[in-house]
Amino acid sequence: MSYEQILVFTEGAVGRVQLNRPQALNALNSKLMAELVDALQQFEANPAIRCILLHGDEKAFAAGADIKEMADQGAIDMYAKDFISLWDAVYRIKKPIVAAVSGFALGGGCELAMICDTIIASETAKFGQPEINIGVIPGAGGTQRLTRAVGKATAMDMVLTGRMLTAAEAKDAGLVARVVPPEAYLSEAQKMAAAIAAKSPVALQLAKESVLQAFETSLAGGIHLERRLFYMAFASEDQKEGMKAFMEKRKPEFTGR
């Protein structure tokens, strides 16, 4: 597939995707989302890629699903096309995904960032679920992932009023991992992605699966799964290499087996 609305880069073991519809603040239409999912699936299938980085530009990560594309749709059109299932496809990627957010991350853009495994934000970032302003509600997990990330009161504040959180508020609320100056948000996220990519790919996927289960299951169920995945890590060559390297006081060389 050739891409028109995203840019794709390979930087060592990091696969980087830039959302690239600046004239529409990277609004997520079905073409862009299909391209994004395709690029992520290519990275997923490529053993040389160990971590993925997703970002927009300085003005916007993404200002939401494309309102112009949705405006004339009926319920049955929306149901039949199931446009939002493209966000689910991003959730199904097993490799870690870092989001680097500058400017607007609104509606489906905020939801896309929340599907990523962690978020690095520029001081300029603004997070919001403003769907209430256009007569709808969040549709790609906003009422659910946001509430789990920031708690009921802040989620209701955002979802019922459409108010945007500043980067500092988002950090305080637990939505983002780090806030950095605008000129550093991408390089900081690249450093983070490279650091993740240096770990065992097997352990990374087990760790991601285990953390995500914290949102799906009871504490006992999650701890049970974690224990099983922890034991499963001992089937990998990377576990042998990681522990041997520690004892030999050298850096491990992980192969992903």
Contact residues for ligand CAA, defined by CB under 6 A: 24-25, 27, 63-68, 104, 106-108, 111, 130-131, 133-134, 138-140, 142
Catalytic residue of the set 13, 60, 99, 131:
131
Pick 59 or 224: Cβ nearer ligand CAA: 59
Pick 96 or 141: Cβ nearer ligand CAA: 141
Asked whether the beta carbons of 252 and 242 are under 8 A apart, the reply is: yes
**131 counts as catalytic:** yes
Question: What minimum distance in Å lies between the beta carbon of 96 and ligand CAA?
Answer: 23
**111 counts as catalytic:** yes
Report the alpha-carbon distance of residue 17 to residue 8 in Å, rounded: 5
Question: What minimum distance in Å lies between the beta carbon of 111 and ligand CAA?
Answer: 6
* Strand order across the 6-11 sheet: 6-11, 14-19, 51-55, 97-101, 118-122, 178-180
Structure-derived torsion over alpha carbons of residues 236, 242, 244, 247, reported in degrees to the nearest 10: -150
What value, to the nearest 5°, has the Cα angle with vertex 119 and ends 85 and 92?
Answer: 30
**108 counts as catalytic:** yes
DSSP structure class, residue 58? S
Amino acid found at 220: A
Pick 111 or 238: Cβ nearer ligand CAA: 111
**65 counts as catalytic:** yes
DSSP structure class, residue 163? P
Question: What minimum distance in Å lies between the beta carbon of 216 and ligand CAA?
Answer: 21
Strand partners, 180: 122
Question: What minimum distance in Å lies between the beta carbon of 29 and ligand CAA?
Answer: 8
Pick 127 or 254: Cβ nearer ligand CAA: 127
Catalytic residue of the set 108, 139, 142, 242:
108
Catalytic residue of the set 13, 39, 60, 65:
65
Chain-centroid distance, C-alpha 11: 18
Query: Catalytic amino acids?
Result: 65, 108, 111, 131
